Amino acid sequence: MPHYHTLGQIPHKRHTQFRKPDGKLYSEQLFSTEGFSSHYSLLYHCHPPTGIIKVDEPYSAAPSIAEEKMLKHRSFQGFSIQPETDFLKSRKPVLVNNDCHISLAAPQHSTKDYFYKNADADELLFIHEGSGILRTQYGQLPFGYGDYIVIPRGTIYQVEFSNAGNRLFIVESFSPLRFPKRYLSPYGQLLENSPFCERDIRQPQNLETIDQAGDFVILVKKKGVMYPIHYGHHPFDVIGWDGCEYPFALSVHDFEPITGRVHQPPPVHQTFEGHNFVVCSFCPRLFDYHPLAVPAPYNHSNIDSDEVLYYVDGDFMSRKHVTRGMITLHPAGIPHGPHPGAVEKSLGAKETKELAVMVDTFHPLQITNNALGIEDKQYVMSWAE
C-alpha cells in the first residue's frame, strides 16, 4: 500500500550474494502478506530468521463472546477499560466478527521482555492518548496523539511508550488493510481527489541492527492462540531492507475533509478498507454552505452494515452526553440518526471540531464480555423525546 522505501545496506540485485565484512553471507528474507503476488519487502538479516531454540506451551488469546446476535443500539464507555502494565494484556476486544476485531487498550509500560507478532491480522493502532516509538525490523516509527499506525501481519515489533498514560483504539483486520481503491491510480499513487497523499505517510526511520545472540521470545498470535517461541538471535538484526510492505504511520490531523453545499455521506471520510469493513475519520471541518443546509446527519436506514463510532475529541452536535473514548454501536437492521433536538440545534452552525474514528462492518459484530462491563445500558432509550 505505501510506496517503495529502503533503509540500510542492500545488494545491487535481489537474490544475489550479499556478504558481511567477515565474508559470511547475510540471510535474505522475503516478507509479504499475500504470497508472491502482491506487495513485498526484502530484508537482510545478520542471521537466518529461522533459528528457534525453544517453544513454550501456547495459551488462548481468543475473545470471550457474550452476545452473538442482537438488534439494539449500544454504547460503551471506552475510558472505563482499566489500565494494565503489559501491552498485550491491556488489549481488550470489545466488538468482533470474522473480518475484524475491535479492541481498546490502556497500556502503562513498554514491551521490553518479549516481542510480538500477529500472524493472523494486519493491525491498525489509533493513538488516542500517549506517545512513543514503535520498534520493528524495519526501523523506528515515532507516534503521538491522533496517529494511525498500520502494522502488516507477520511484523515483529515492540512498543516503547513515553509515559504510563496511554489509550489506544485497535482494529485487527483478517484481510489486507488498504487505502480505498477510489483514491488510487491504476499504479497505486494516491490521486488528487484523495483526502491525504504520500507526503502524509510516515515511514520507518533509524534502522537498528542488533547483532546479538541470546534467548529472545516472540509471542506469535495465530487463530486465537498465543505461541511463545524462543529464538537464538535478536529479531532486529536487519542490516538493510527495501520494498513496499512495511509498517507506517498516518496522522488523522493530516486528513483533509471533503465538504459540500449539503451534507456529505460517510464514504467521503473513508481512510482505510479491509474485506467487508471500512475505517473512516471524522475530522474538524466546515459545515455545508447551502443557505438551507442541515448540518446534522440525516437518519440512515442502516440495513447493510453495523456502524461503530469511537469518539476522540470535540463537540458532537448529533449526540447527547458524548464522552471521550465513548463507543456507539448501531447495528444493521434498524435506523439511527440524530438525537431529538440535534437537527434544529445544528441549523446555522458553520463548523465542527469533532474528531472520531468510525468502523462500518458488512457482517454483524459480536459483543464480548469486556464490552458488557463498560456498557451504558440507557443508551438505547436516548432517542426518546
Per-residue model confidence (pLDDT) at position 253: 96
Per-residue model confidence (pLDDT) at position 63: 96
Reported as half-sphere exposure (CB side, CA atoms, 13 A), residue 377 has a value of: 2
348-381 per-position pLDDT tens digit: 888 888 999 999 999 999 999 999 999 999 999 8
237-262 per-position pLDDT tens digit: 999 999 999 999 999 999 999 888 99
With 0-12 CB in 10 A as exposed, 13-18 as middle and 19+ as buried, what is 17?
exposed
With 0-12 CB in 10 A as exposed, 13-18 as middle and 19+ as buried, what is 252?
buried
Residue 244 near residue 3, CB atoms below 8 Å: yes
Q: pLDDT class for 103, splitting at 50, 70, 90? A: very high
Is residue 384 pLDDT above 90, yes or no? Answer: no
Q: How many residues does the chain have?
A: 385
144-176 per-position pLDDT tens digit: 999 999 999 999 999 999 998 999 999 999 999
What mean pLDDT do residues 33-48 have? 92
Residue 196's nearest CA partner among 248, 247, 144 is: 248
Note the pTM of the prediction, 2 decimals. 0.95
Domain 256-381 has CATH 3.40.120.10: no
Domain 52-64+83-232+247-252 has CATH 2.60.120.10: yes
The whole-angstrom separation of Cα 297 and Cα 267 is 13
Is residue 200 pLDDT above 80, yes or no? Answer: yes
Per-residue model confidence (pLDDT) at position 352: 87
What mean pLDDT do residues 183-187 have? 92
Q: pLDDT class for 11, splitting at 50, 70, 90? A: very high
**Average pLDDT of the chain to the nearest whole number:** 94
Per-residue model confidence (pLDDT) at position 318: 65
Per-residue model confidence (pLDDT) at position 347: 87
Per-residue model confidence (pLDDT) at position 37: 85
What mean pLDDT do residues 118-123 have? 97
Per-residue model confidence (pLDDT) at position 42: 97
Compute the C-alpha angle 124/81/90, nearest 5°: 55
Nearest 10 degrees: CA dihedral of 143, 148, 151, 156? Answer: 30
313-325 per-position pLDDT tens digit: 987 766 777 899 9
Is residue 209 pLDDT above 80, yes or no? Answer: yes
What mean pLDDT do residues 290-300 have? 88
The whole-angstrom separation of Cα 380 and Cα 363 is 21
Per-residue model confidence (pLDDT) at position 1: 61
Q: Domain-by-domain residue ranges, the chain? A: 52-64+83-232+247-252, 256-381
- Beta carbons within 8 Å of 117's beta carbon, 6+ residues apart: 154, 155, 156, 157, 218, 219, 220, 221
- Beta carbons within 8 Å of 125's beta carbon, 6+ residues apart: 143, 147, 148, 149, 151, 168, 169, 170
Residue 367's nearest CA partner among 87, 93, 73, 78 is: 93
The whole-angstrom separation of Cα 184 and Cα 192 is 9
